[in-house]
């Protein structure tokens, strides 16, 4: 079932790689620093993201869709690639576990207050393992469907909120200095840098040469959607109130009222969000498995999906038990780690490629 | 191979499924729920006193306009009054007396007693924003006396009192525009904004008694009804005073909250000051523009509007353009009075319910930063001078061209 | 290969294997042959064996064998018996058996299909097809004349897929009738009919029908391979074939369509699908089929496109209602009461006041009751039919509510679900969601909407991974091919469907000329331009 995924599908995959957690967590982080200038922060982080996408895209172009770690092994040495693989595996395990934790936290906060975390984790894991076993092609297909569904919800959202939108809440613009804006755009940049999953999706791309375009399209889409949700939330609640709310996007939905009987629509939007976070989690699990597969050079990853899933579940259940810890990681730790793996690693890969190329050229000249 | 593995997977899934089936952690059957339609909070002896209005489904409380008002013996809702050191403690204590679990998602109104409003409402707002099943969209009211008494009162024409009051306030803000309804998130928004003040409409009983027996609502003219009254002003989290309905009306003009309003005015201001005509204001826009004048802010308030003449008690020919302009001028003066009157009171209360702080921040952020740093908004606010400009247009004069009085005199 | 097929069997003795003796060539002695035949088929009462000599044929002794009931008695008499018995042109001259054989074969049998058979198996197979066998003394070859003609059901209106507008004839149990109906609809040289005999004991005739050049060769090869691989003793209905050749293994979703309507099969064939007609059942198969094929009814093309589009959207709506409504009802009333409008919540709560069961049990009770009633309705003799509807109305109706067993809202939910299930044109997919509905209900009762969404995700990903003979099950929606969406959720006017949708792997080909939209001629006094030639398209 290892089909190839087309360019549009891949771009959509990038959208859902970033969007679901970003829409939930981002607004609060951004608006803590930037308040009504939050859209600026998003623009800044998008620019940064585009840069990262360009780097990642270049790497994929250079290795022409070969499995990343295999390529590194070929260009440098098995030791380097194995160590890098182990580190990246650790990174992806952590990331996937935090995604799972965010997912579960959200569900527990909003819908199923009394249901034990373990049950939710196991259920989600089972479903996601099934998804990963169906292959990236199926995930990509469903992903496109889910994103299309977004366009059903947008009109409903806009129509319901129309009377509550107040453009003046966006004023005054440019109220914050550059330092604050940079601080605010750090976290979104970490999310945007998740475009680096393309490194591991590359072997499944139909046209790996277009990786850069894929990354850019995906990121632009994400930033438009995030701007949309952030601006509407700001317009409804104003910059001060938005800081209070743990999930501003869904609070915004909560006040939608159409006619006298359609109210409290947040559960509908939460359901939609559940679909997209499933996909995000599946993509990351897939990438983790792929990373594992390349690190240990196993031919079939199928038997290991369950084991890796279990590992993630355990990490999710025990390491990220306290949500305060998760918030601190989101706010502070995440940037460093993401920068390291999503920016420096691809940059290093480009460097490696250049060095290798010039060396082989020199060799070619010498012989 | 593949099918075998799938079968294995299926077998593994079965225990999970059965686990799911055996434990339904979050489900609540409908007949275990006490659907609250309204809540009221008071502060008494340093304790929270909460009153909940729980709908009694079997009395058919859903029917708007109910079948035969008080004919059914069971009341459309029951109320519980509980006390506790915190709000949630009080709520949970309801379970000592009630057969059903309180369910707040369908609450429509919350009434805050004056006692609580004077004590501070931050904790209450926090509870509403934090608790998963609490609705941020409840309308918040303030009551002069005990808030709990309001919830005991039965209403005519509707059985579900909470949603009845919601209808009242929505209707009021749509047709009368004395004050807009304040939903909880709006209350929180304005308290959290630069102004730090908010207004809450008052709800009161028109008579001395509480009509809380179903047999009593069988009368056509109740001696005591629920009614909307003045406008309570909160500053910070505390209650600071009242604005009369007239002042509230003026405030609505200043804050651009007019939807439709009826204004009584003198049709021939030169002859008499008697208010003998009315006008329905159908469209109205307010623009507030702060200007810094050396040492204080001047607020340019531009009020524009248009509407229809609906009542005329003097001798007048409406085909005469001059007469109309005269009436427009009289209208404008009327509104100007309202606004000025309201502003004096607001200034006296010292609460920035006009949202001027927000305006200042938006138009002059440097000076605002200064003010914020010095925490001097209160004194700046006292210095503010307003310059309201009103311009109204009578677009149509209704179905008759001349006033009836003029026809009669001819 | 056969070993693979038999892996699943539990019985030690394989019924398929035992029924296949080695082919036995004919003996030159008629006596021996007859004995052997007698041994093989026993002395069944419907087998007619007639010995016969004719002087004009040098007293050559012949034996006719045919099966009464499978042959048309008139045709046996007129085309086999009479010519041979009455023909007296050969006077006196003694001729050899060989000469007589060729003479009879070439000159004396006024019947279309005459075949030779050299082994007993071939001959017996033909005998069971309704041929009349003619065995000769002294020859190792025999003749078989096609005299088949058994009692057939006449062509009737299809009972399971009725239409208001459109052809009213359905397939019958006869394979030949079926192929003829398609031949009549597709008068093109490209139509190919390949026949197979599958089932050791039943020897059921199976025909795959396709348009050469339009059906995908890959799919064809795959279907042929899977048909060849079937090794079973009986094929009694098209479902036998369906289960043997369809993809997916453990899936609740059908990947092969079945239909009783020749026009639907013709339409499918024109879009590159491959029709499979099975002798003995009026239900033909169409493969490959995607999910969306199951929502297309042939009537969509016989009605105006606007109403067809509307109806099709309704069908998708009904699909979701039928799958989700009880689950949603359970989820909303036990988990997400805040979603309901207050007035509705209160009236639902009021209805539930006296109901002792939790919502899940209530829904299960009603759903199962409905399924029992439905099954009873199918099994019940026609004459008692009305009784069941009365009982059903009572059980699933006011009486149940008054008895305090269920709430009125639940009755509405269950009935609406049941009715929605019948809106879906294909019974196959309607049945599959009948089962999914129950799983949904359980999950909804334990995890609410989150559970429903999770299960939807599982279903979606399952369907996205499913294939029907290599065609992705959800195509052309996932993977998304926008230009093929003309006939999926809505049906655009026929004149704008210029290209054949590539739901399968076949080539995308033009099926009608461009600019077919009827328009008045501009400038009334000018002569009309050349009219586009109307194309003889079947339903597509």
For B134-162, what is each residue's pLDDT tens digit? Answer: 888 889 999 988 888 888 888 888 888 88
Q: Is C500 a domain residue?
A: no
Residue with tokens 């990642």: A56
Question: Does C283 reside within a domain?
Answer: yes
**pLDDT, tens digit, 9 for 90 and up, residues B329-370:** 888 988 899 899 999 998 888 888 888 888 888 888 788 888
In a domain, C69, yes or no: yes
Residues B82-134 pLDDT 10s: 998 998 888 888 888 888 888 888 888 999 998 998 888 889 988 888 887 78
CA angle centred on C169, ends C163 and C172, rounded to 5°? 125
Say yes or no: C213 and C105 in one domain. no
Looking at C444, C472, C500, which one is the last position of a domain?
C472
For residue A269, the model assigns a pLDDT of: 83
- R_g (Cα) of chain A, nearest Å: 21
Using CA atoms, how far apart are residues B167 and A298, in angstroms rounded to an integer?
67
A258, A252, A247: which is closest to A169 by C-alpha? A252
Chain C partners of A274 at a C-beta cutoff of 8 Å?
450, 453-454, 457
Indicate the range of A206-210, C227-231, C445-449, C497-501 predicted with least confidence: C497-501
Q: Is residue C5, in this structure, part of any structural domain at all? A: no
* Chain C nearest CA to A303, separation (Å): 19
Same domain, C425 and C330: yes
* Residue whose structure tokens are 């970033």: A18
Parallel, antiparallel or unpaired: strands B47-55 and B33-44: antiparallel
Using DSSP's 3-state secondary structure scheme, residue C68 falls into strand
Whether C518 is in a domain gets the answer no
Mean pLDDT split into 10-residue runs, chain A, 367 residues: 74 86 72 74 86 86 81 81 87 87 85 83 89 88 88 82 75 72 79 83 84 88 86 80 76 75 76 89 90 84 82 82 74 75 80 80 62
- pLDDT at residue C138 in the model: 80
Q: Is the pLDDT of residue C532 over 70?
A: no
> Has residue C162 been placed in a domain?
no
Neighbour order of strands in the sheet with C284-287: C191-198, C204-211, C274-278, C284-287, C257-259
Longest pairwise C-alpha distance within chain B = 106
Distance from CA of B229 to the nearest CA of A (A): 25
Report residue C265 as tokens.
């099969």
First to last CA, chain A: 45
Let me know whether C279 and C340 are in one domain: no
What is the enclosing helix (H) or strand (E) of B299? strand B296-312
Closest CA to A9 of B308, C202, B176, C464: C464
Question: Which one of C472, C505, C522 terminates a domain?
Answer: C472
Q: Are A49 and A219 contacting, i.e. CB atoms less than 8 angstroms apart?
A: yes
Instruction: Categorize the per-residue pLDDT at B10 as very low, low, confident or very high, splitting at 50, 70 and 90.
Output: low
C364 touches chain B (CB under 8 A): no
Statement to judge: residues C109 and C254 lie in one domain: no
- Chain A neighbors (3+ CB pairs < 8 Å): B, C
Alpha-carbon distance B270 to A187, whole Å?
A: 67
Residue B8 confidence (pLDDT):
67
Picking from A259, C413, C355, the residue whose alpha carbon sits closest to that of residue B57 is: C355
Instruction: Note down the domain range covering C127.
Output: 30-146
**Distance between CA atoms of residues C324 and C453, nearest Å:** 11
- pLDDT > 90? residue B372: no
Q: Is the pTM of this model over 0.90?
A: no
Are the beta carbons of A199 and A68 closer than 8 angstroms? yes
Residue C152 CA from chain centroid, whole number: 18
Residue C123 and residue C48 share a domain: yes
Mean pLDDT, all residues of chain C: 82
Q: What is the spatial distance between Cα B111 and Cα B93, in angstroms, rounded to a whole number?
A: 20
User: For residue range C290-313, what is the model confidence (pLDDT) as tens digits?
Assistant: 899 899 888 888 989 999 999 999
- Per residue in B203-244, pLDDT (tens digit) is 988 888 888 887 777 778 888 888 898 899 998 888 988 999
A238 part of contact set with chain B, CB < 8 Å: yes
Q: Is the pLDDT of residue C277 over 90?
A: yes
Classify residue C160: in a domain, yes or no.
Answer: no
Quick one: pLDDT band at residue C8, thresholds 50, 70, 90?
very low
Contact B190, B248 (CB under 8 A): no
**Same domain assignment for residues C106 and C185:** no
pLDDT tens string C72-99 = 888 888 888 887 777 655 555 566 777 7
Same domain, C333 and C444: yes
Pick the closest to residue B371 from B235, B236, B194, B234 (CA basis): B194
Note whether C317 and C464 are same-domain residues. Answer: yes
High-pLDDT (> 70) share of chain C, %: 88
Q: Name the DSSP letter for residue B302.
A: E
With cut-offs at 50, 70 and 90, classify the pLDDT of residue B189. Answer: confident
Model pLDDT, residue B64: 40
C442 Cα to chain B: minimum distance (Å): 7
Please give the pLDDT value at position C87: 62
Give yes or no for a contact between C64 and C123, defined as CB atoms under 8 angstroms apart.
no
Q: What confidence tens digit (pLDDT) does each residue in C361-383 have? A: 889 888 898 888 888 888 888 78
Provide mean pLDDT across the span C404-408: 85
Query: Looking at the structure, do residues C140 and C184 belong to the same domain, yes or no?
Result: no
Q: Which of C343, C447, C460 faces A142 most closely, judged by CB atoms?
A: C460
B149-162 b/e (C-beta count within 10 Å ≥ 16 → b): bbbbbbbbebbbbb
> Which of C289, C304, C334 finishes a domain?
C289
Q: Which residues of C433-457 are buried (b: 16+ CB within 10 A; e: fewer)?
A: bbebbbbbbbbbbbbbbbbbbbbbb
Three-class SS of B36-67 = EEEEEEEEECCEEEEEEEEECHHHCCCCECCC
Among candidate residues B36, B272, B236, the one with its CA nearest the CA of residue B134? B36
Same domain, C285 and C395: no
C79 and C112 together in one domain? yes
Q: Is the dihedral of CA A287, A292, A297, A300 positive or negative?
A: negative
Which 3 state secondary structure label does DSSP give A263?
A: strand
Strand extents, DSSP E, C35-130: 47-54, 60-67, 114-117
C230 interfacial to chain A (CB closer than 8 Å): no
Structure confidence by residue, pLDDT tens digits, C204-258: 899 999 998 888 888 899 899 999 999 888 899 988 998 888 886 678 899 999 9
Whether C151 is in a domain gets the answer no
Q: Which residues lie across from B283 on neighbouring strands?
A: B306
CA A359 from chain centre, in angstroms, equals 36
Report which of B102, B111, B104, B96 is spatially closest to residue B42, judged by C-alpha positions. Answer: B111
Hey, which residues 158-187 in chain B have their CB within 8 Å of chain A? 183, 185
Residues C460, C342 share a domain: yes
**Could you check whether the bond before residue B211 is cis, i.e. omega within 30 degrees of 0?**
no
Which pLDDT belongs to residue C314? 93
The answer to whether the CB atoms of C449 and A270 lie below 8 A apart is yes
Q: State the best of B17, B22, B26 to mutate against chain A, taking most chain A CBs within 10 Å.
A: B26
Selecting from C343, C447, C465 the residue whose C-beta is nearest the C-beta of A135 gives C465
Distances (CA, A) of A361 to A348, A354, A364, B231, C156: 20, 10, 5, 83, 80
Q: Which of B288, B365, B369 to mutate to test the interface with A (most CBs of A within 10 A)?
A: B365
Q: Which residue in chain B is spatially nearest to A257 when comparing CA positions?
A: B137
Q: How many domains does chain C have?
A: 3
Among A148, A192, A203, A195, smallest CA distance to A5 is for: A203
Q: Which residue of chain A comes nearest to B194, CA vs CA?
A: A240
């Amino acid at each position: 079932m290892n089909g190839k995924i087309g360019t549009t599908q891949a771009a959509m995959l990038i959208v859902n790689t970033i969007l679901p957690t970003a829409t939930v967590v981002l607004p609060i982080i951004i608006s803590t620093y930037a308040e009504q200038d939050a859209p600026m922060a998003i623009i800044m982080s998008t620019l940064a993201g585009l840069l990262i996408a360009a780097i990642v895209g270049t790497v994929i172009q250079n290795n022409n869709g070969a499995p990343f770690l295999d390529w590194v092994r070929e260009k440098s040495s098995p030791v380097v690639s194995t160590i890098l693989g182990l580190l990246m595996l650790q990174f992806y395990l952590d990331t996937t576990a935090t995604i799972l934790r965010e997912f579960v936290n959200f569900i527990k906060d909003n819908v199923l207050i009394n249901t034990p975390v373990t049950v939710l984790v196991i259920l989600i894991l089972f479903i996601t393992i099934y998804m990963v076993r169906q292959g990236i092609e199926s995930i990509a297909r469903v992903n496109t469907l889910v994103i299309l569904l977004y366009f059903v919800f947008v009109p409903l959202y806009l129509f319901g909120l129309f009377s509550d939108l107040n453009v003046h809440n966006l004023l005054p613009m440019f109220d914050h200095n550059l330092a604050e804006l940079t601080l605010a755009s750090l976290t979104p940049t970490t999310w945007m840098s998740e475009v680096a999953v393309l490194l591991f999706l590359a072997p499944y791309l139909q046209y790996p040469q277009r990786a850069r375009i894929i990354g850019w399209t995906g990121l632009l889409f994400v930033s438009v959607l995030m701007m949309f949700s952030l601006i509407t939330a700001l317009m409804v609640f104003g910059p001060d109130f938005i800081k209070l709310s743990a999930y501003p996007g869904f609070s915004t939905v909560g006040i939608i009222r159409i006619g006298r009987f359609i109210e409290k629509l947040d559960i509908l939007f939460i359901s939609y969000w559940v679909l997209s976070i499933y996909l995000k989690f599946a993509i990351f699990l897939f990438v983790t498995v792929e990373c594992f597969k390349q690190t240990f050079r196993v031919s079939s990853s199928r038997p290991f999906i369950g084991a890796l899933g279990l590992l993630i579940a355990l990490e999710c259940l025990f390491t990220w038990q306290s949500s305060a810890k998760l918030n601190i990681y989101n706010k502070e730790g995440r940037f460093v780690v993401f920068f390291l793996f999503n920016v420096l690693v691809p940059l290093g890969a480009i460097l490696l490629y250049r060095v290798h190329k010039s060396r082989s050229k020199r060799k070619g000249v010498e012989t | 191979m593949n099918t075998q593995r799938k079968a294995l997977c299926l077998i593994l899934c079965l225990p999970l499924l059965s686990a799911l089936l055996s434990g339904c952690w979050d489900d609540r059957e409908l007949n275990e729920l006490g659907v609250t339609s309204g809540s009221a909070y008071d502060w008494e002896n340093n304790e929270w006193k909460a009153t909940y209005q729980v709908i009694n489904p079997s009395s058919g409380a859903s029917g708007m306009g109910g079948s035969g008002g008080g004919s059914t013996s069971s009341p459309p809702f029951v109320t519980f009054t509980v006390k506790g050191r915190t709000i949630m403690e009080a709520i949970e204590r309801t379970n000592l007396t009630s057969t059903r679990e309180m369910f707040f998602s369908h609450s429509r109104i919350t009434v805050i007693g004056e006692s609580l409003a004077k004590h501070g409402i931050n904790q209450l707002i926090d509870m509403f924003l934090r608790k998963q099943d609490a609705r941020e969209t409840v309308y918040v009211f303030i009551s002069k006396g005990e808030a709990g008494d309001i919830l005991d009162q039965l209403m005519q024409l509707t059985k579900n009192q909470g949603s009845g009051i919601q209808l009242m306030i929505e209707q009021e803000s749509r047709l009368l525009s004395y004050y807009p309804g304040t939903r909880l998130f709006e209350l929180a928004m304005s308290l959290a904004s630069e102004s730090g003040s908010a207004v809450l409409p008052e709800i009161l009983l028109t008579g001395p008694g509480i009509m809380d027996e179903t047999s009593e609502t069988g009368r056509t003219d109740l001696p005591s009804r629920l009614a909307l009254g003045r406008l309570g002003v909160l500053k910070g989290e505390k209650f600071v005073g009242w604005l009369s309905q007239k002042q509230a009306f003026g405030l609505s003009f200043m804050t651009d909250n007019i939807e439709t309003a009826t204004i009584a005015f003198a049709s021939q201001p030169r002859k008499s000051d008697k208010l003998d005509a009315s006008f329905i204001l159908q469209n109205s826009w307010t623009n507030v523009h702060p200007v810094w004048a050396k040492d204080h802010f001047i607020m340019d308030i531009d009020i524009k509007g248009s509407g229809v003449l609906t009542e005329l008690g003097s001798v007048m020919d409406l085909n005469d353009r001059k007469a109309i302009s005269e009436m427009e001028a009289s209208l404008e003066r009327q509104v100007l009075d309202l606004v000025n009157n309201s502003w004096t009171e607001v200034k006296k209360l010292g609460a920035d319910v006009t949202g001027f702080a927000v305006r200042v921040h938006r138009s002059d952020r440097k000076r605002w930063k200064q003010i914020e740093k010095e925490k001097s908004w209160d004194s700046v606010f006292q210095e503010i001078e307003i310059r309201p400009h009103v311009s109204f247009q009578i677009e149509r004069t209704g179905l008759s061209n001349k006033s009836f009085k003029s026809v009669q005199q001819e | 290969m056969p070993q693979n097929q038999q892996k699943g069997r539990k019985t030690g003795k394989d019924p398929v294997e035992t029924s296949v003796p080695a082919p036995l060539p004919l003996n030159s002695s008629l006596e021996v042959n007859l004995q052997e035949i007698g041994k093989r088929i026993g002395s069944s009462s419907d087998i007619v064996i007639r010995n016969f000599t004719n002087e004009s044929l040098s007293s050559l002794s012949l034996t006719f064998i045919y099966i009464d009931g499978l042959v048309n008695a008139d045709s046996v008499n007129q085309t086999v018996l009479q010519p041979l018995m009455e023909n007296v042109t050969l006077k006196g001259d003694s001729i050899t058996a060989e000469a007589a054989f060729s003479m009879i074969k070439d000159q004396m049998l006024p019947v279309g299909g005459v075949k030779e058979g050299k082994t007993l198996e071939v001959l017996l197979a033909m005998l069971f097809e309704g041929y009349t066998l003619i065995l000769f003394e002294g020859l190792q070859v025999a003749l078989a004349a096609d005299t088949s003609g058994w009692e057939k059901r006449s062509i009737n209106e299809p009972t399971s897929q009725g239409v208001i507008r459109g052809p009213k004839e359905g397939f019958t149990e006869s394979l030949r009738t079926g192929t003829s109906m398609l031949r009549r609809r597709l008068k093109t040289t490209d139509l190919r009919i390949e026949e197979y005999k599958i089932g050791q004991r039943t020897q059921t005739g199976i025909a795959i029908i396709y348009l050469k050049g339009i059906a995908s060769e890959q799919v064809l090869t795959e279907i042929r391979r899977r048909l060849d691989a079937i090794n079973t003793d009986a094929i009694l209905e098209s479902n036998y074939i369906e289960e043997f050749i369809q993809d997916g293994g453990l899936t609740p979703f059908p990947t092969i369509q079945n239909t009783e309507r020749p026009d639907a099969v013709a339409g499918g064939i024109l879009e590159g699908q491959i029709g499979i007609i099975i002798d003995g059942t009026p239900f033909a198969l169409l493969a490959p089929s995607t999910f969306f094929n199951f929502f297309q009814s042939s009537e969509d093309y016989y009605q105006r496109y606007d109403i067809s589009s509307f109806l099709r959207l309704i069908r998708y709506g009904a699909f979701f209602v039928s799958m989700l409504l009880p689950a949603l009802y359970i989820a909303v009333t036990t988990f997400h009461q805040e979603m309901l409008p207050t007035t509705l919540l209160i009236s639902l709560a009021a209805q539930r006041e006296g109901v002792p069961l939790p919502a899940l049990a209530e829904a299960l009770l009603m759903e199962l009751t409905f399924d029992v009633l439905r099954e009873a309705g199918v099994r019940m003799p026609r004459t008692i039919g009305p009784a069941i509807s009365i009982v059903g109305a009572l059980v699933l109706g006011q009486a149940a509510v008054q008895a305090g067993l269920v709430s009125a809202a639940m009755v509405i939910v269950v009935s609406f679900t049941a009715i929605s299930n019948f809106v879906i044109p294909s019974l196959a997919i309607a049945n599959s969601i009948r089962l999914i509905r129950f799983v949904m209900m359980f999950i909804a009762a334990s995890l609410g909407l989150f559970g429903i969404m999770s299960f939807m995700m599982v279903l979606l990903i399952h369907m996205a991974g499913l294939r029907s003979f290599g065609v992705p099950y959800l195509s052309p929606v996932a993977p998304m091919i926008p230009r093929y969406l003309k006939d999926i959720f809505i049906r655009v006017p026929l004149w704008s469907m210029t290209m054949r949708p590539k739901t399968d792997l076949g080539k995308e080909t033009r099926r009608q000329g461009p600019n077919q939209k009827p328009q008045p001629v501009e400038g009334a006094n000018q002569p009309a331009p050349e009219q586009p030639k109307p194309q003889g398209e079947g339903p597509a």
